[in-house]
Structure 1
Amino acid sequence: MVKTVDDELVEYGFRRIIITITAVLCALLEIVDTTIVNVALNNMRGSLGATLTDIAWVITAYAIANVIIIPMTSWLSQQFGRRNYFAVSIVIFTTASFLCGNATNIWELVAFRFIQGLGGGALLVTAQTIITESYPIAKRGMAQAIYGMGVIVGPTLGPPLGGYIVDHFSWPYIFYINIPIGIIATILTIMFVKSPKYGNKLSVNQVDWWGIAFLTTFIGSLQFVLEHGQQDDWFNDNLIVGLSVASVFGLILFIKRELTYEHPIVNLRVLKNANLRVGTIMSFIMGFGLYGSTFIVPIYTQSVLGWNATQAGLLLIPSSITTGIMMPFIGKMIQRGVPQSYMVAVGFLMFFCFTFWMHNIITPDTSSEAMFWPLILRGVGLGLLFVPITTLSLSTLSGRQIGEGAAFTGMMRQLGGSFGIAIITTFIARFNQEHRVNLISKLDKTDFKVQQTLQGLQQGFMSKGFTFNESLAKAYKIIEYKVMVQSSVLTYMDVFMYLGILFLLCIPFILLIKKGSGKINPADAMH
């Protein structure tokens, strides 16, 4: 029996355990860092003397660097060798983490976050490939499940971990905790990870510099528009309009360049595969739901229920644990031949049920107990989505195309999260205003119930020693506050419903998926 390159990369026993732990840790580090800073922004702003607009760049810079580097990971691995590329990425990420913690002003922090994002984005897809290539073909579903635990659990761990660190230490420590893990991961990578054999490397003159420039223009501009669109009033702002135009032209020129250049930085021809096209769409929707729900639930609990950041983050932990518990079972189901398309369909349906359930239970005083089971359902739904979508996307690809396909699904998942947060933020602002106007229009001063409520509140304040006019003013403020809270609740109900409908509409896409050979080989990724 002839040994293939893939067979040579398969590991067993202790070595495979060490490689798996290393890769999952790196993927988890990267994804936790996308959300861990959210709860520390106020502390950063105070200590660095930054404005609200300036501090938003701490998130934006990291996200832009992340999404730019992900599509290039396959090409960069081929140029420098996967082990070398992975190890250098960990070093860049770890060093940038140290520099972030030592930043003395906001723009130093933003610059170091961008560098951290360049190192971190490379960790995601490369970690996935290193894990899958270390397992024999029969256990590749389990390998994807192990990797999926890091990707799904990561965004949820960020807020509570960040909240705890900020409450008990100070914000630089959210970066310093990466340093010991990064050092250990670098040593283990150099000692244990193997690199597949590649063909000839390109010379400097053959490198697709224009492709890199067009990709950076397209993704960088798009990410900025998504991050800052709502706060800058979208297309009423000249910078947003200019960057939107730059993004469109960057995309057009990037596509033209990649389809005509002999050595493209990103192989777009792989998207001719129907399964991968559908898989990228589903990855986008999954990112939308994963990051969108991770964003909206803490926002609702903090703005309406008055919880602190740590409480809001802890609420999502059972959901993440559920997803983590499900991953090995899903891996075994795939090994036993359960059709992935059925799992994806059930996953989308369960996510719709989660949003519909949340739509029905949220009030100005919903308890954590009431949200427990809907969030458990969310965890089950996400568990049924990640591994099946990944394996379905790659199921009819072969060779190095699998790595290129994995990069597309990773990029689309991240972009889906950016779109989800941008759209949800916009919906919250627009719907809130709309509901507020509608509620105020129904508050007729001549209405008996309104007069009765006002008089009751006024008399309550007068009994505490306030004057007639002071009591009336305070009564109006209380009614205004109640209108604001009620309009917020109605807004979150709408957002949950629209998010659920989006997932429901995805189910027909699954009918477009062709059945793969059944023996997919994601270990070819980035070859």
Structure 2
Amino acid sequence: MKKTSIFKPWVPNWAIQVVLVICMLHTMALLGLYTSNISYAASYFDIEPEDLQFSMSLTYGTFLATILIESRLFKYFPPRNYLITIYLLSAVLFVTSAYTNDFVVFAFLRILEGILMALPWIPLRILMLSRTKSPNATIIVFSITYGALLAASPFIVNIAVWLLDTHDWKYMTFGSAIFQIMVASLIWLTFTPNRFHRKIPLYKVDWTSFVLLTIAILTGVYVLNYGEKLYWFQSTNIVFCAITSLIFSALFIIRQMTYRRSCFDMRVFSYRNLRLSLLLFIVFYISRATLTICHTTMSKVWQWEPLRVAHVQYLNLLGVFIGMAIAGIMMVQKLPTKLILILGFLTMAIYHWWFTFLFLPDVALSQMWIPYMLQGVGVGVLFVPLVLNTVSAVPAYLAPFAGAIGVAGRFWGTNIGFCLVQNFQVYFNNKHRYIFLEKLLPENPTTTEIVNTIQESFVQKGYDLAPAATLAMKKVNAGVQTQSFLLGNMELFTVWGYGLFLVALYIAFNKHLRFSFNLLKNKYFS
């Protein structure tokens, strides 16, 4: 049976590729809907921002566990029935979440969304590769798929901000559900009922490993997301989840090493380049976590409107596309991957150092757009080369497991980055706040002069002395908090910048590293 037979003969190849790209936008909707406007979504569910971050981790964590078994499911069902079912179920979940105000129910729905997000991701990429007739098909397809993934947040945040100005939050979920139905209709219109693979019975699926890994992941991300808030191991919840994660992780590893038909081959870790690629992925995603600080500064310190913050993110998205184009050209020219990675990490380091000087009480767009775009360029340069280097670091028969390692690196890097940023911000902010408070003692003449000046300004506005004094102290405290926030971010970005610079130096001068791959010689890609 020919693989092309799953598409109807009257559909031209370019239309098939367009349909497949549209199908991949399903992941954008599932991943970006509730993280596009964290403040609004958190208020809607009456939760804290870290709760929403945790819900995103639930989705991504379930995605990671599901990709280990999705190939078996895809090989059992015909692609048309398989994909249509996924998109219709996604539509049902979106509509259900529109009428959900309870966070526990919402978290459960996010877990289900992670499963539905993972099931079509790799099959759609395989179908795109089968329809792209080019020597550089792998670079093109991977750039498109991961470009769409990186574009999810800025694209949806602009839709969200525009929609929330005129409509209720529920319309976001309704629109996403309608999109899923439209995608299902396109699949029904262009696909045939034929199979893409030989049918493999489902009784060989390693469901036990899936459950073990899911529990290990979800309890692990609970520790990373809530550790700082619950004072780490002073909390019984943190201790319980940490122990549970370690136990189930050990059980998962033991099963993979002893079970004949396990869902993951542990031999991938015997390859040095793969271990290094995993480490670089984690470092890369930790460095990406600081972008949230930029957006927080725009809204809380610079007092930019939500619509302006949303529009500015297009600059970062443009940088991502520029970076991907640069990386694509370098890969097509068969330049060493080592050079691409050094360029990417140095670009990320420059962004952090440059932005260190922009943590001021007021900054114009003309001052910050270049380093802000540089962050996108660095992300674009690094993403696809890191993915391809991870997959090609092992023999072809282990490549699917190496792909899962790449997803694991992105997942844990995101959560470790959130955890580190959260803890470093608290540490640096408190450090500078205590320094300010030591200098702002009542007996300090400078403090008295500042408070009196502010109090006098309120009196001139018509306030009585007592309310004016209270407002003056509140303004001083707010100023201390703002300055502590800015100075803390300056230190954090400086540390991150030096860390990324050291990573680039390590890649450049370590003679034992072999960052080079030939996609055309790798049987997995061909």
Q: CA deviation at 1:420?
A: 1.4
Q: 1:345 to 1:55 in 2, by over 3 A?
A: closer
- Choose which of 64, 87, 92 in structure 1 pairs with 2:89: 92
**Counterpart of 1:415?**
412
Q: Which amino acid in the other structure matches residue 310 of structure 2?
A: G
CA–CA distance in 2 between the matches of 1:382 and 1:101? Answer: 33
- Choose which of 113, 117, 121 in structure 1 pairs with 2:118: 121
**Counterpart of 2:200?**
201
More deviation in 26-35 or 150-159?
Answer: 26-35
**Counterpart of 1:229?**
227
Tell me, what secondary structure is at the counterpart of 1:173?
Answer: helix
Q: 1:406 to 1:53 in 2, by over 3 A?
A: closer
Q: Which has the higher contact order (CA 8 A, sep 6+)?
A: 1
Tell me, what secondary structure is at the counterpart of 1:216?
Answer: helix
**Counterpart of 2:269?**
271
**1:316 aligned to 2:313?**
yes
Tell me, what secondary structure is at the counterpart of 1:231?
Answer: coil
Q: 1:425 to 1:212 in 2, by over 3 A?
A: same
**Counterpart of 2:152?**
154
- Aligned residue pairs total 518
Write the deviation string for residues 247-271 of structure 1: whole angstroms up to 9, x where unpaired. Answer: 1111111111111111112222223
Q: Which amino acid in the other structure matches residue 197 of structure 1?
A: H
**Counterpart of 1:168?**
166
Q: Which amino acid in the other structure matches residue 277 of structure 2?
A: G
Q: 1:134 to 1:272 in 2, by over 3 A?
A: farther
Q: CA deviation at 1:345?
A: 1.0
**Counterpart of 1:519?**
520
**Counterpart of 2:432?**
435
**1:281 aligned to 2:279?**
yes
Q: Does the 8 Å CA contact 1:145/1:330 hold for their aligned counterparts?
A: no
CA–CA distance in 2 between the matches of 1:318 and 1:375? Answer: 7
Unmatched 5+ stretches in structure 1? none
CA–CA distance in 2 between the matches of 1:401 and 1:5? Answer: 25
More deviation in 169-178 or 374-383?
Answer: 169-178
Q: Which amino acid in the other structure matches residue 514 of structure 2?
A: I
- Choose which of 251, 254, 270 in structure 2 pairs with 1:256: 254
Q: Which amino acid in the other structure matches residue 255 of structure 2?
A: R
**Counterpart of 2:472?**
475
Write the deviation string for residues 59-101 of structure 1: whole angstroms up to 9, x where unpaired. Answer: 4543443333234334444454666554443333233122222
Q: Does the 8 Å CA contact 1:26/1:185 hold for their aligned counterparts?
A: yes
**Counterpart of 2:293?**
296
Q: CA deviation at 1:18?
A: 3.4
Tell me, what secondary structure is at the counterpart of 1:164?
Answer: helix
Q: Which amino acid in the other structure matches residue 269 of structure 2?
A: L
Q: CA deviation at 1:12?
A: 13
- Choose which of 371, 376, 381 in structure 2 pairs with 1:374: 371
- Choose which of 63, 66, 81 in structure 2 pairs with 1:66: 63
CA–CA distance in 2 between the matches of 1:325 and 1:419? Answer: 27
Q: CA deviation at 1:467?
A: 4.0
CA–CA distance in 1 between the matches of 2:460 and 2:113? Answer: 59
Q: 1:34 to 1:517 in 2, by over 3 A?
A: closer
CA–CA distance in 2 between the matches of 1:364 and 1:174? Answer: 34
**Counterpart of 1:497?**
494
Q: 1:156 to 1:110 in 2, by over 3 A?
A: same
CA–CA distance in 1 between the matches of 2:499 and 2:119? Answer: 30
Q: Does the 8 Å CA contact 1:285/1:413 hold for their aligned counterparts?
A: no
CA–CA distance in 1 between the matches of 2:49 and 2:375? Answer: 32
Unmatched 5+ stretches in structure 2? none
CA–CA distance in 1 between the matches of 2:499 and 2:29? Answer: 26
CA–CA distance in 1 between the matches of 2:117 and 2:303? Answer: 33
Q: Does the 8 Å CA contact 1:68/1:220 hold for their aligned counterparts?
A: no
Q: CA deviation at 1:456?
A: 2.0
Q: CA deviation at 1:184?
A: 3.4
Q: CA deviation at 1:195?
A: 5.9
CA–CA distance in 1 between the matches of 2:297 and 2:148? Answer: 25
**Counterpart of 1:144?**
142
**1:178 aligned to 2:179?**
no
Q: Over aligned residue pairs, what C-alpha RMSD do you find?
A: 3.3
Tell me, what secondary structure is at the counterpart of 2:224?
Answer: helix
Q: CA deviation at 1:366?
A: 1.8
Q: Does the 8 Å CA contact 1:162/1:174 hold for their aligned counterparts?
A: yes
Q: Which amino acid in the other structure matches residue 206 of structure 2?
A: D
Q: CA deviation at 1:147?
A: 1.8
CA–CA distance in 2 between the matches of 1:513 and 1:353? Answer: 25
Write the deviation string for residues 472-492 of structure 1: whole angstroms up to 9, x where unpaired. Answer: 333222221111110010122
Q: 1:44 to 1:358 in 2, by over 3 A?
A: closer
- Choose which of 411, 417, 424 in structure 1 pairs with 2:421: 424
Q: CA deviation at 1:244?
A: 0.9
Q: Does the 8 Å CA contact 2:94/2:177 hold for their aligned counterparts?
A: yes
| TM-score normalised to structure 2 length | 0.87
CA–CA distance in 2 between the matches of 1:431 and 1:23? Answer: 46
CA–CA distance in 2 between the matches of 1:516 and 1:437? Answer: 52
Q: How does 1:344-423 map to 2 (within 5 A)?
A: 344-423=341-420
Q: CA deviation at 1:189?
A: 4.1
More deviation in 81-90 or 281-290?
Answer: 81-90
Q: CA deviation at 1:469?
A: 4.0
Q: Which amino acid in the other structure matches residue 219 of structure 2?
A: S
Q: CA deviation at 1:222?
A: 1.2
Q: How does 1:27-46 map to 2 (within 5 A)?
A: 27-38=24-35, 40=37, 43=40
Q: Does the 8 Å CA contact 2:356/2:490 hold for their aligned counterparts?
A: yes
Q: Does the 8 Å CA contact 1:391/1:520 hold for their aligned counterparts?
A: no
CA–CA distance in 1 between the matches of 2:38 and 2:320? Answer: 28
State the identity %. 19
Q: Which amino acid in the other structure matches residue 483 of structure 1?
A: V
More deviation in 67-76 or 423-432?
Answer: 67-76
CA–CA distance in 1 between the matches of 2:29 and 2:293? Answer: 17
